[in-house]
Amino acid sequence: MFTPNPYSLNSRKVAEATDEWLAKRGVSKTQIGQLVHFLQKDYFPDLSLDECIVHVDAVLSKREVQNAVLTGIQLDVLAEEGKLITPLQEMIKNDEGLYGCDEVLALSIVNVYGSIGFTNFGYIDKLKPGILKKLNEKNGEHTHTFLDDIVGAIAASAASRIAHRKQAEREADTNLPLD
């Protein structure tokens, strides 16, 4: 007698798929780290790229973030292959201005590190530095309607994480009295 295995989530698989798919879609952690460095270098002049990458890794270890990455990339890939229903296909393929589910998923990433990340997200989403510019090149080959916003959101979240950590370090150093 055959009993099918009941479904059981395997978190390691979700984490690994997130890493694999980001790489497959042309995004490295170094490139996301560069966005973080761009956002934070004026506030923390000693901040190194390596340190930024550590924070990117921490953001990517969150399940909420992994879910958004996989879901967004999935929709991009299917739009690229022309496999979505009409008119969703056309809206995602053309990064239609009134289609905002990409921003919605991106914001669910930013929220995990709190509201102080909103500003940074909007700022790089508009400026498109580094890898964001490349993702946004609409050359007909690839569709990155979701990934574009998601990568910006990961960078903004890592920037928020740095702001929180730096504050903790500063307070540990100065050993503030409670008075």
Residues 78-83: contacts with CB under 8 Å, at least 24 apart = 79/143, 79/145, 80/142, 80/143
* Residue recorded with tokens 């270098």: 41
Contact 143, 135 (CB under 8 A): no
Closest CA to 56 of 18, 107, 102: 18
- Does position 17 interact with a copy of itself (CB under 8 A)? The reply is yes
For the chain, give the number of residues. Answer: 179
Site string for a copy of itself, 24-63 (x = CB under 8 A): --------------------------------------xx
Task: Report, in Å, the least distance between residue 40 CB and a copy of itself.
Answer: 12
- Does position 129 interact with a copy of itself (CB under 8 A)? The reply is no
> Toward a copy of itself, which CB reaches closer, 7 or 46?
7
Give, to the nearest 10 degrees, the angle between helix 101-112 and helix 145-174: 20
Angstrom distance (rounded) from CA 58 to CA 158: 8
> Toward a copy of itself, which CB reaches closer, 30 or 77?
77
Q: Note the residues at the interface with a copy of itself (CB under 8 A).
A: 7-14, 16-17, 21, 62-64, 67-68, 70-71, 74-75, 77-78, 83-88, 90-91, 93-94, 96-101, 103-108, 111-112, 114-116, 118-123, 125-127, 163-164, 167-168, 170-171, 174, 176, 178
